[in-house]
Chains A and B, each alone.
Chain A
Amino acid sequence: MKAIRILAVIFAALILAQPVFAETLNGAGATFPYPVYSAWAFEYSKVTGTRLNYQSIGSGGGQRQISSRTVDFGASDAPLKPGKLAEHKLLQFPAVIGGVVPVINIKGIKEGQLRLSPQALCGIFLGTVKKWNDKSIGSLNPSLILPDANITVVRRSDGSGTTAIFTTYLAGVCPAWKQKVGAGKAVKWPAGTGGKGNEGVANYVKRLKNSIGYVEFAYAKQNKLNYISLQNGSGKFVAPTFESFKAAAAGGGFDPNKDFYLWLVNAPGEGSWPIAGATFILLASEQVEQNKKVVKFFDWAYQSGDMTAERLVYVPLPKSLKDKVKTYWRSKGIY
């Protein structure tokens, strides 16, 4: 009996003791921005002592977790429409820009040399353009020798924000794609082999001759993949560079009144890369105190995180967009 009494006292003491832990913010969602969020979190904790715990479970998971309020913020590559945001009482703003780059593997053709139009790209992924020396590709590249070989299409086997951005772009420029396939994180692909993750697609394109696939900008740059030059809305052929992504971000019409709901594909501007996309942060609108802390983190990231983002091959938001986001935060009372 004496032993039980002593145990009870120790147990009560443990429960009542309030140890002081470092402040931790919890987030979950998209896998695409995970490297930059964790780099920012590391530096932020050195500056302020507040830690950030981010679980990259996928955009779908991020949306579900913030809707059920199990995390402080969710992250999603696909923006939610204002109706959906109102239904789950969420706030939304963009954090960083990335995008999709079609990559190829053709012997003798170097980075940026191959020019494709939206229609040619569409035809390739629809399976209607079957060979590399097809007229639709050849007419855009008179100076290149294109092989008389079948195009091996590589796409994603898993659902992802990368696919969402790419298929939204194709549905926007190509009525046949919109009607036959549509846009989404996972679609019923009419052609091609599936690789798991950006790594899977990059791996297959590197190995398979005369192949084409699509990967995130960061993957294309870091793995030195052979990217194409794509014709944008203004008719110019642009290569995927920091400049062309920043041009797309600046040209895009992000509207705070619509909670920044925007697919950044086909952004206006002569130098804009046509397949850009922002990745978004979702907040629970009633958790004002938590939101202030999350906003403080992203405000710091906007101010001091640009170099880190660029080092990891992400495109920071242009200043005009950052100002719009800050006004949005102020209007919601969390800044």
Chain B
Amino acid sequence: MQDRKSADIIFHGITAIAAFSVLFVILGVLFVLVKESYPSIGRFGFFRFIATNDWNPVTGNFGAAAALFGTAVTTALALIIAVPVAIGIAVFVTEVAPPFLKGPVGVAIELLAAIPSIVYGMWGLFTLVPIMSEYIEPALQGTMGRLPLIGILFEGTPLGIDLLTSSIILSIMIIPFTASISRDAFNLTPPLVKESAYATGATKWEVIWDVVIPYSKVGVFGGIILSLGRALGETMAVAFVLGNNHQITSSLLDTATTITVALANEFTEADTDIYLSSLFNLALILFIMSFIILALSKLMLAWAGRKSDR
């Protein structure tokens, strides 16, 4: 009896150490980020730094606005492209595919997640960028570029190195997360509910749209949040294909920068202290942003959970 009780205590201790060590690491990262960005925060002010659109290593004037803009645009556009495709994949695998296809398609999606991001970056640079600049972007300019309001999004010379290409690469990277989690969520729909719907005369599409998806809302939303987190922090896939141009632009065919692209391109050669500190400041902003988005999504999930319990 004594042995089993002490084994329990040791077990509890080890798991507690594992859990707290993660907490310590996060706090440690936050501490280092704040300590290293302190000169930059002191010189520019935390909120003024976020609002300033200037990045001049020569004069030593830095501001995060352009990088934040790029992060927001690439992430949003990647989600807009990826989420419908991922949900479509999940629907296909769970409801539409013949049984012999379910396995291979599922494995193919998981493999997509396993490709290292720098391989995506290289593929993007050597394969996707020429295709975009020679075929897809001129076609987009010729068709959607002529429409009155949307046309502004497609101005400029299509070089292939721009927000649009980066968003497409990012969307391919984040599809697997939403797709697998949605697939698992859809599989959790009780067959009884689906069969009842079919019994009342619903078509396959009506069952999917009106029964399965509403039932798995929470799971799908969780998958989207995972994809969002990945897209926010993705570095090497976009470092080569975005051009690292610190500007806020209205055209998707323009070069820009994100926080991660700026860090990847400029970190090793940042020679002045204020330059390095401003890069750390960018990293701190990204850290805080990811934390806030995760917290908000947890709150939304909890709120949605409480609603559906009623």
B and A form one assembly: yes
| Residues of A bordering B, CB below 8 Å | 57-61, 63, 78, 150, 152, 157-161, 181-189, 193-196, 200, 203-204, 207-208
User: Could you tell me if A204 and B269 are in contact, using CB atoms closer than 8 angstroms?
Assistant: no
Which residues of chain A have C-beta atoms less than 8 A from B58's C-beta? 181-184, 187-188
User: Contact flags (1/0) for B36-68 with A, using CB distance below 8 Å?
Assistant: 000000000000000000111111000000000
- Among the listed B159, B239, B270, B275, which residue makes an inter-chain contact with A196, where contact means beta carbons less than 8 Å apart? B239
Mostly, the A contact residues are loop
Stretch at the interface among B138-146, B171-179, B240-248: B240-248
Bound Cα distance from A58 to B275, whole angstroms: 15
- 27 A–B contacts from the bound complex (CB under 8 Å): A57-B268, A58-B268, A59-B269, A152-B159, A157-B243, A157-B244, A157-B245, A157-B265, A158-B266, A159-B269, A159-B270, A182-B58, A186-B57, A186-B266, A186-B270, A188-B54, A188-B55, A193-B161, A193-B243, A193-B245, A194-B161, A194-B243, A194-B255, A196-B244, A204-B159, A204-B161, A208-B133
10 A-B pairs with the lowest CB-CB distances in the bound complex, closest first: A159-B269, A58-B268, A157-B244, A182-B58, A158-B265, A194-B243, A186-B57, A188-B56, A60-B271, A194-B244
User: Could you tell me if B57 and A188 are in contact, using CB atoms closer than 8 angstroms?
Assistant: yes
User: Could you tell me if B159 and A159 are in contact, using CB atoms closer than 8 angstroms?
Assistant: no
Name the residue in B55, B130, B275 with the highest tally of chain A Cβ atoms < 10 Å from its Cβ.
Answer: B275
Bound Cα distance from A61 to B270, whole angstroms: 8
Name the residue in B58, B130, B271 with the highest tally of chain A Cβ atoms < 10 Å from its Cβ.
Answer: B271
Bound Cα distance from A184 to B58, whole angstroms: 6
B125 at the interface (CB under 8 A from A): yes
Which residues of chain A have C-beta atoms less than 8 A from B57's C-beta? 159, 184-188
Closest to A183 in B: B58
User: Contact flags (1/0) for B49-90 with A, using CB distance below 8 Å?
Assistant: 000001111110000000000000000000000000000000
| Distance between A166 CB and nearest chain B CB, rounded to angstroms | 13
Bound Cα distance from A196 to B269, whole angstroms: 13
B157 at the interface (CB under 8 A from A): yes
Which residues of chain A have C-beta atoms less than 8 A from B56's C-beta? 187-188
Bound Cα distance from A238 to B266, whole angstroms: 33
Closest to B271 in A: A60
Which residues of chain A have C-beta atoms less than 8 A from B55's C-beta? 188
Bound Cα distance from A186 to B56, whole angstroms: 8
User: Could you tell me if A196 and B240 are in contact, using CB atoms closer than 8 angstroms?
Assistant: yes
Known: A159-B266, A184-B58, A186-B275. 19 other contacts (CB 8 A): A57-B268, A59-B271, A60-B270, A157-B243, A158-B244, A159-B57, A182-B58, A184-B271, A185-B57, A186-B270, A188-B54, A194-B255, A194-B265, A195-B161, A195-B243, A196-B244, A200-B125, A204-B159, A204-B161
Which residues of chain A have C-beta atoms less than 8 A from B59's C-beta? 182
User: Could you tell me if B246 and A159 are in contact, using CB atoms closer than 8 angstroms?
Assistant: no
Q: Which of B198-247 contact A (CB under 8 A)?
A: 239-240, 243-246
Closest to B241 in A: A196
- Among the listed B133, B264, B271, which residue makes an inter-chain contact with A185, where contact means beta carbons less than 8 Å apart? B271
How many A-B residue pairs have C-beta atoms within 8 angstroms? Tell me.
Answer: 86
| Distance between A7 CB and nearest chain B CB, rounded to angstroms | 22
| Distance between B243 CB and nearest chain A CB, rounded to angstroms | 4
User: Could you tell me if A63 and B271 are in contact, using CB atoms closer than 8 angstroms?
Assistant: yes
Q: Which of B113-132 contact A (CB under 8 A)?
A: 125, 130
Name the residue in B55, B244, B269 with the highest tally of chain A Cβ atoms < 10 Å from its Cβ.
Answer: B269
Which residues of chain A have C-beta atoms less than 8 A from B246's C-beta? 188
Which residues of chain B have C-beta atoms less than 8 A from A188's C-beta? 54-58, 246
Which residues of chain A have C-beta atoms less than 8 A from B159's C-beta? 152, 193, 204, 208
Closest to B265 in A: A158
Bound Cα distance from A203 to B18, whole angstroms: 47
- Among the listed A60, A183, A200, A203, which residue makes an inter-chain contact with B269, where contact means beta carbons less than 8 Å apart? A60
| Distance between A134 CB and nearest chain B CB, rounded to angstroms | 18
Bound Cα distance from A159 to B243, whole angstroms: 13
| Distance between A280 CB and nearest chain B CB, rounded to angstroms | 14
User: Could you tell me if B268 and A196 are in contact, using CB atoms closer than 8 angstroms?
Assistant: no
User: Contact flags (1/0) for B245-264 with A, using CB distance below 8 Å?
Assistant: 11000000001000000001
| Distance between A164 CB and nearest chain B CB, rounded to angstroms | 9
| Distance between A277 CB and nearest chain B CB, rounded to angstroms | 15
Bound Cα distance from A196 to B263, whole angstroms: 12
Which residues of chain B have C-beta atoms less than 8 A from A183's C-beta? 58
Bound Cα distance from A161 to B271, whole angstroms: 11
Bound Cα distance from A183 to B59, whole angstroms: 10
User: Could you tell me if B245 and A194 are in contact, using CB atoms closer than 8 angstroms?
Assistant: yes
Bound Cα distance from A78 to B55, whole angstroms: 21
Bound Cα distance from A160 to B240, whole angstroms: 15
Which residues of chain A have C-beta atoms less than 8 A from B271's C-beta? 59-60, 63, 78, 159, 184-185
Bound Cα distance from A86 to B188, whole angstroms: 69
- Among the listed A196, A203, A204, which residue makes an inter-chain contact with B265, where contact means beta carbons less than 8 Å apart? A196
Which residues of chain B have C-beta atoms less than 8 A from A195's C-beta? 161, 243
Which residues of chain B have C-beta atoms less than 8 A from A193's C-beta? 159, 161, 243, 245, 255
Closest to B60 in A: A184
Bound Cα distance from A185 to B245, whole angstroms: 15
User: Contact flags (1/0) for B153-190 with A, using CB distance below 8 Å?
Assistant: 00001010100000000000000000000000000000
Which residues of chain B have C-beta atoms less than 8 A from A57's C-beta? 268
